[in-house]
Amino acid sequence: MAVVGVLALQGSFNEHIAALRRLGVKGVEIRKPEQLDSVASLIIPGGESTTMAKLAQYHNLFPALREFVTMGKPVWGTCAGLIFLANNATGQKRGGQELIGGLDCTVNRNFFGSQIQSFEAELSVPELASKEGGPETFRGVFIRAPAILEVGPEVQVLAECPVPSNKVLASRSEVEDQEEKLSEKKVIVAVRQGNLLGTAFHPELTADTRWHSYFLRMSSSVAEVASSSIVAVGGE
Ligand code: GLN
């Protein structure tokens, strides 16, 4: 049975483990750097990214997490986990927090506003449609959610979300130069860059396991590419 690590410092790690269990996959709680050696992929849950960063510093996890990412191992960050994986985060109070980085994007931490402005939205996600013609729509749960304001050339956009019309922008000054995006009233909320997946919403809080299945498929294809390049190097 496949084993997936779930960073278990804070936030919705139990919900991710339960979603994996529904797919017959074991999720292992990760709290110490050496525990990362026993898993081939990692989920970083939603929660509160400043608190998560402080706990990660306390447990000396940042070097091991960065190594995990740079080794090309599959990592999926949901919400606070997405912020953690981003190269840049804006909208942070009191000087910000340490990030793992690796995902070439700029994330605005509380783009959609405060806790009471949390919402659900129907997203169009072509990557989730099944070959049998299953739906490509996914109901995203956004809780004090971030949004992705800029992406680098290697980043594939998987989903965008209409900006709710009643939204009070958390930090309008920071997104003023994003006028084009705002006038379209859509922001990026799911991306993939090679071994890294980021979603601004919480699939683990729904009964729909298609994002978890997507991450598992992505992890096997990343592993296949890695092993074929080892064979290729070994064969030279
Ligand atoms: N915006 C939150 C943060 O900065 C993340 C919210 C979430 O994970 N639901 O940490």
Q: Residue 230 pLDDT > 80, yes or no?
A: no
Q: CB-based burial of residue 56 (10 Å sphere; 0-12 exposed, 13-18 middle, 19+ buried)?
A: buried
- What would you report as the CA-atom Rg of the chain, rounded to the nearest whole angstrom? 17
pLDDT tens per residue, range 55-114: 999 999 999 999 999 999 999 999 999 999 999 999 876 657 899 999 999 999 999 988
Quote ipTM for the complex. 0.95
pLDDT tens per residue, range 154-179: 999 999 998 876 554 545 555 555 54
Residue 16, number of CB atoms within 10 A of its CB: 29
Spatial distance between the Cα atoms of 137 and 232, rounded to a whole number of angstroms: 39
Q: How far is the CA of 201 from the centre of ligand 1 (A)?
A: 9
| 189 CB within 6 A, ligand 1 | no
* Ligand 1 atom closest to the CA of 50, numbered from 1: 10
Q: How far is the CA of 26 from the centre of ligand 1 (A)?
A: 25
Domain that holds residue 21: 3-235
Total domains, the chain: 1
Spatial distance between the Cα atoms of 170 and 61, rounded to a whole number of angstroms: 30
For the residues 131-144, what does the mean pLDDT come to?
90
- pTM for this predicted structure: 0.89
CATH of the domain at 222: 3.40.50.880
| 91 CB within 6 A, ligand 1 | no
Spatial distance between the Cα atoms of 38 and 61, rounded to a whole number of angstroms: 15
| 117 CB within 6 A, ligand 1 | no
